[in-house]
Amino acid sequence: MRIGRTLPPAASPITSIDFLRGIAAIFQGQQRIKRFDEEVKRYFDVPHCFLLSSGKAALTIILRSLHDLYPERYEVVIPAYNCYSVPSAITRAGLTVTPCDIDPQTLDFNFDHLSSLFLSNRKKILAVVPAHFFGLPSDIPRLRKISPDPEITIIEDAAQAMGGATGGKKLGTLGDAGFYSLGRGKAFSTVEGGIIITGNTELAGRIRQYYSQVQDYDLAETGKLIINALLLVFFQHPLFFWFPKGLPFLNLGETIYDPDFKIKKLSPFQAGLAAAWQEKLAAFMRQRNKKTGMMEELLDGGIFLDAAGTSKASLIRLPIVVHDLEKRKRILAESNRLGLGVMPTYPAPVNCIDELQYLHAEREFTAAREMCEKIITLPVHPFVTGKDVHKITSIVNANEKI
Ligand SMILES: *Cc1c(COP(=O)(O)O)cnc(C)c1O
């Protein structure tokens, strides 16, 4: 275990001031939540917003509501390269995961594969959930164009893309509904949290019915949240991050399949942590864009994820593809030794999840598997210094030559 300055792979800092605002908000209660809700609606220019305990809770509620509207539809199409929270939410909603392979150039859907899924499963598909991985925009207009049926709902997974935009439109507002995550390591964080936004009145009506039955955080859960926020104030800082990183029970950086997660309404404490979120989000994005630009400048060519304008997207981690698996292993080992926060992403495509037995006979998702094996991400968050940028890019470049 490394002891000493260690960069987290991603971070949206929570300061001690934020923490105190969170505590103050506990005494303001619902009023504080209402304010956050209004701010979200205004910022994204959407009529409906629902605040929850996580991105996966948000997705579960959207899916349950949709299934009420279209009870004969039950399949949810997702990129096979994905965060395991997404299939967890689909299972939790009582629905079926239908993976689609990805385009390794963009991490977006492989649109040929998607078209053939539409052809064969048209009447069964409830929703398609495109994701803006790391902040790289998925092509929602193209998805809408090839979707054969207006009853198939597009739910935008903007968990990693809060604040990002494409073609002058904010990510999360291009689909029929969208959701954000406020978890640790996302674009902006309140320890944990999720936001649903939609302009669809019928869907919003259903969501509101479910939402009214969702419980608030109880006292013990609020206590745990407060402790975790306090831990984040200290341990997310590079000077102390080596400590939680060495504690295996925190499951840092792991992506796990578990449909048994809590679904709660966002608490006043979290709404308080989110005070001045628009300014903070903008400042984080400026920082990340600056570091992304510096890295792109310093990295030797040829290893970039050639996505739809990587340089224009607002990324939470900079993904690069390293084709030589030995090199990739060396970069990760070196980063680990030096505490530089370079990380792999998802362990395997979603069809490989043990619990999803019904997917095991599925075809291989070749590009998704390849990207699980080849992508590493470089940290670009506000704690990354210019010196870090040089160290990180030099271990990546050096391994090119070994
Ligand atoms: C983090 C994440 C989620 C889930 O958000 P949580 O708040 O962690 O539940 C969903 N999709 C993607 C792509 C994510 O990165």
Instruction: Write the pLDDT tens digit of every residue in 11-38.
Output: 999 999 999 999 999 999 999 999 999 9
Q: Minimum mean pLDDT among 18-22, 90-94, 237-241, 288-292: which range?
A: 237-241
**Residue holding tokens 């909603």?**
93
pLDDT of residue 252: 60
Contact residues of ligand 1, CB 6 A cut-off: 54-56, 83, 85-86, 131, 157, 159-160, 181, 183, 194
pLDDT (tens digit per residue) in 300-339: 764 555 544 555 678 999 999 998 999 999 999 999 999 9
pLDDT of residue 248: 59
pLDDT of residue 249: 52
Q: What is the distance in A from the centroid of ligand 1 to the CA of 96? A: 18
DSSP secondary structure, 148-216, as one string = --TTSEEEEE-TT-TT-EETTEETTSSSSEEEEE-STTSSS-SSS-EEEEE--HHHHHHHHHHHHHPEE
Compute the chain's Rg from CA coordinates. 20
Q: How confident is the model at residue 260 (pLDDT cuts 50, 70, 90)?
A: very high
pLDDT of residue 166: 92
**Residue holding tokens 């370079």?**
342
Q: Which residue among 82, 186, 315, 316 is best mutated to probe the pocket of ligand 1, counting the most ligand atoms within 8 A of its Cβ?
A: 186
Q: What span, in angstroms and rounded, lies between the C-alpha atoms of 71 and 89?
A: 18
pLDDT (tens digit per residue) in 219-254: 999 999 999 999 889 888 888 777 777 665 555 656
- β pairing state of 125-128 and 75-79: parallel
Residue nearest to atom 1 of ligand 1 (CA): 159
Write b or e for each residue in 96-109: b if 16 or more Cβ atoms lie within 10 A of its Cβ, otherwise e: bbbbbbbbbebbbb
Q: Which residue among 12, 54, 56 is best mutated to probe the pocket of ligand 1, counting the most ligand atoms within 8 A of its Cβ?
A: 56
pLDDT of residue 360: 84
Q: Can you list the positions of beta strands (E) in 224-279?
A: 264-265
Q: What is the pTM of this model?
A: 0.96
What rounded mean pLDDT belongs to the chain? 92
Extract long-range pairs of 155-158: CB within 8 Å, 24+ residues apart: 155/59, 155/62, 155/63, 155/66, 155/127, 155/128, 155/129, 155/179, 156/129, 156/130, 156/132, 157/55, 157/59, 157/78, 157/86, 157/129, 157/130, 157/131, 157/132, 158/132
pLDDT of residue 247: 63
Q: Name the region of 11 (left: φ>0; alpha: ψ -120 to 50; beta: rest).
A: beta
Three-state secondary structure call for residue 125: strand
Q: What span, in angstroms and rounded, lies between the C-alpha atoms of 334 and 73?
A: 48
Residue nearest to atom 4 of ligand 1 (CA): 55
DSSP secondary structure, 69-100, as one string = HSTT--EEEEESS--THHHHHHHHTT-EEEEE
Q: Could you tell me which residue, 401 or 83, shows the higher pLDDT?
A: 83
| Residue 230 amino acid letter | L
pLDDT of residue 356: 94
Q: What is the distance in A from the centroid of ligand 1 to the CA of 193? A: 10
Phi first, then psi: give them for residue 177, nearest 5 degrees: -150, 160
Cβ(160)–Cβ(281) below 8 Å: no
| CA dihedral sign of residues 368, 178, 53, 183 | positive
Q: Quick check: 149 pLDDT over 80?
A: yes
